[in-house]
Amino acid sequence: MSEGPEKRRSIVPILVVASALLVTATLLFLRLRMEPPTVPAYALGSSDAGAVLLRAGDRFRLAVEPEGIVTGAVAARAFLLRGDEVRAWDPPFTVERDGSIHLDGPVETLFAGVTPGPWEVAIAVGRPETLPTAPKDVLRARDAGAGDAAWHLVREQIVLGG
């Protein structure tokens, strides 16, 4: 008679795991239907040619805009590049409802501790959970073309004055 309750107890973990898998699959399905895994390509909002010279006292403004309609959440992560050197950079971003990303602030605050000279500002824009953290991923995206992806890299050349 004691086998009945033991059998029920042994089946409970199986039912809990099966239920959790079903809920996870349902949420993933809904996420993909409501928010596709890819985002459209992004581009700089300005058409300035050449490197931007930045000195203390100046303001640095950057707008990164989607080239199509954005569905779902997007975020940005910034890096400073010089050759094969990748440096994480944490400026304050504003993300608009249309998916555009804006950055604005004083040069001496945004680039505090960054050595003067030429740099490339690289903004990774895409799904928050897919944004790159590894330098190799940033360099690989820099060298690849844009297409359907979970994130895109937009770059602007700058020169920090001494």
Question: Do 137 and 59 fall into the same domain?
Answer: yes
Question: Do 100 and 140 fall into the same domain?
Answer: yes
At 112, which CATH number? 2.60.40
Question: Do 83 and 103 fall into the same domain?
Answer: yes
* Ranges 4-8, 61-65, 138-142: which has the least confidence: 4-8
- 119 confidence band (pLDDT: 50, 70, 90): very high
What is the number of structural domains in the chain? 2
The whole model's pTM is what? Answer: 0.73
- 106 confidence band (pLDDT: 50, 70, 90): very high
Question: Do 26 and 48 fall into the same domain?
Answer: no
Percent of the chain predicted with pLDDT > 70: 83
Q: What residue type is assigned to position 126 of the chain?
A: G
The dihedral built from the CA positions of residue 61, 156, 131 and 74, taken in this order, carries a sign that is positive
**pLDDT at position 150:** 84
Range of the domain at 15: 1-34
pLDDT at position 31 over 60: no
Question: Do 65 and 109 fall into the same domain?
Answer: yes
Q: Which residue has the tokens 């690989």?
A: 140
Q: Note whether 23 and 6 are within 8 A (CB).
A: no
**pLDDT at position 9:** 66
Q: What is the DSSP string of 114-152?
A: PPSEEEEEEEEEE-GGG---SHHHHHHHHHSPP-SBSEE
Per-chain mean pLDDT for the chain: 85
pLDDT digits (tens, 9 = 90+) for 129-144: 889 988 888 888 887 7
> From CA 140, how far away is CA 136, in angstroms rounded?
6
Question: Do 101 and 67 fall into the same domain?
Answer: yes
Q: What are phi and psi of 2, to 5 degrees?
A: -80, -10
Question: Do 28 and 87 fall into the same domain?
Answer: no
Considering only CA atoms, which of 143, 156, 140, 142 is closest in space to residue 43?
156
pLDDT at position 86 over 90: yes
Question: Do 70 and 136 fall into the same domain?
Answer: yes
Question: Do 68 and 143 fall into the same domain?
Answer: yes
Question: Do 7 and 50 fall into the same domain?
Answer: no
Q: Which residue has the tokens 């190799």?
A: 136
**pLDDT at position 155:** 92
pLDDT at position 107 over 80: yes
Question: Do 85 and 104 fall into the same domain?
Answer: yes
Question: Do 16 and 92 fall into the same domain?
Answer: no
